[in-house]
Amino acid sequence: MSTNPLHLSPTPIALSLPKEKTYATIILIFSILVWAGLAISIVGAFYAALFAVIGWLSHGLLAAHLRAESVRVSERQLPQLHATFVRVCEKLGMTDIPSLYVVQAGGALNAFATKFAGRNFVVVNSDLLEAFGPESAEIEFILGHELGHLKSNHIFKRVLLAPGILLPLIGPAYLRACEASCDRHGAFVTSDLQGATRALLALGGGKAHGRLLDAESFAEQHNDERGFFISWHELSSPYPTLSQRAAKILAFTNPRFDTQPERHPLAYPLAMLTPGGRATSGGANTLIFVVIIGLLAAMAIPAFQKVRTASQEKVCINNERMIAAAVQQYTLENGKAPTGIADFSGPGKALETFPACVAGGQYQIDPQSDGTVKITCSVHGAHTY
């Protein structure tokens, strides 16, 4: 008899949360604008193409590392784990079975899913396997979670939506929704829902004692530990907190855990200043961030130069006014126009120091017969005063 209420539901439960789609739509609109901006700006298109190539190459190296250094699971290699994996894939309706690898990662309790050249990969750290065993409900949950990422096409979406994922608040909210959806995939495939919470407890408390921890009191931490910093952490984190994830699993069987504790209102403005993205896949996000900065710079530099040019012209015209006034004063006092700059400019004369054009222009002064003065700057052109 299954203890998993996701199995007992009379109608198939949509495993992905609706809010994941909502966030994705908003992020998609922003991302399309950024990609379009990059495409029409030559600098942006160049950077985007450059980083796409770099990203593709480094991702290819990661996949090569997996394929060459990690253990590929098959009927012959770790057959029990293989059987569990195939069973979990079937439960999720995945006919195309991804490649499953086990990797020794120095004790880290982690698993991930990725994609390269159209091929899906699921990677499980060996310590998870040692902690739970190849046929455990815990491993089913973890495999189901990672397959959820592949089934929901999260890897492709993370590239497509990359500019928007960097946005504060909404970016992390989207990533958290993805993880929560994948936890539901994991909970759906596991034969024992308590195995799912045990897996989460081990992620928090370590493989030796984590499984022995009390799931309910850990889930209660989500309600007990509140305040400004917890809220800020939650809002800027790409994962729901472990205690929240445990609470969500327990909530399937116990509505007491189906709570949404309030967040401190001051955490929102602080989270606005904390960019999104994900520290562990920071490489690609950092690259995209650089591309966006490059694009903004490419757009800002001409605008900045325009402002600079306009202000230089203003200073130049001011110079010309001073020169014209000095020429007119000389003409008035001497009854004739000056024949050289030295006539009206110098110590004790109308113009103490002869001004220079800030853009490096040279002044040509032509006193007119009607008393006006025409001054031509080699950079800024002719004006009459």
DSSP-derived letter for residue 292 is H
Q: Which of 283, 159, 281, 172 is nearest to 233 (CA)?
A: 172
Q: Which residues of 67-87 are buried (b: 16+ CB within 10 A; e: fewer)?
A: eeebbbbeeeebeebbebbee
E strands, the chain, where? 71-72, 99-103, 111-116, 119-125, 363-367, 373-377, 381-384
365 scored as a contact of Zn ion (CB under 5 A): no
Q: Output the smallest distance, CB 20 to Zn ion, in A.
A: 12
Q: How many CA atoms lie within 13 A of 122 on its CB side?
A: 26
Q: Contact region for Zn ion (CB under 5 A) — 47-55, 135-143, 334-342, 354-362? A: 354-362
Q: What is the Rg, in whole angstroms, of the alpha carbon atoms belonging to the chain?
A: 34
CB of 380 to Zn ion, least distance (A): 4
Q: Which two tokens stand for residue 237?
A: 């984190």
Residue from the set 357, 365, 373, 375 that interacts with Zn ion by CB under 5 A: 357
379 binds Zn ion (CB under 5 A): yes
Is residue 128 a contact residue for Zn ion (CB under 5 A)? no
* The two structure tokens encoding residue 172: 């992390």
What character string, x for contact with Zn ion (CB under 5 A) and - otherwise, covers 297-336? -------------------x--------------------
- Separation between Cα atoms, residue 200 and residue 194, nearest integer Å: 10
Hey, which residues between 174 and 213 contact Zn ion (CB under 5 A)?
Answer: 179, 182
The residue among 200 and 219 lying less far from Zn ion, judged by its C-beta, is: 200
Nearest to 320 by CA among 272, 251, 379: 379
Task: Kindly tell me which of 168 and 361 has the beta carbon lying closer to Zn ion.
Answer: 361
Residue 256 carries which DSSP code? G
For residues 138 and 179, which CB has a smaller minimum distance to Zn ion in the complex? 179
CB of 316 to Zn ion, least distance (A): 3
Nearer to Zn ion, 203 or 295 (CB): 203
Q: How far apart are CA 141 and CA 368, in angstroms?
A: 91
- Find out whether 143 and 123 touch, Cβ atoms under 8 Å: no
CB nearer Zn ion, residue 70 or residue 181: 181
* Binding segment (CB under 5 A) for Zn ion, from list 13-21, 92-100, 348-356, 359-367: 359-367
Facing residues of 377 across strands? 363, 381
Beta bridge partners of 116: 119
Q: How far is the CB of 148 from Zn ion (least distance, A)?
A: 7
Q: Number of residues in contact with Zn ion, rule: CB under 5 A?
A: 8
Q: Which two tokens stand for residue 175?
A: 């990533």
Nearer to Zn ion, 60 or 360 (CB): 360
x/- contact string, 137-176, with Zn ion (CB under 5 A)?
----------------------------------------
Residue from the set 218, 361, 367, 375 that interacts with Zn ion by CB under 5 A: 361
Residues contributing to the site for Zn ion (CB under 5 A): 179, 182, 316, 357, 361, 377, 379-380
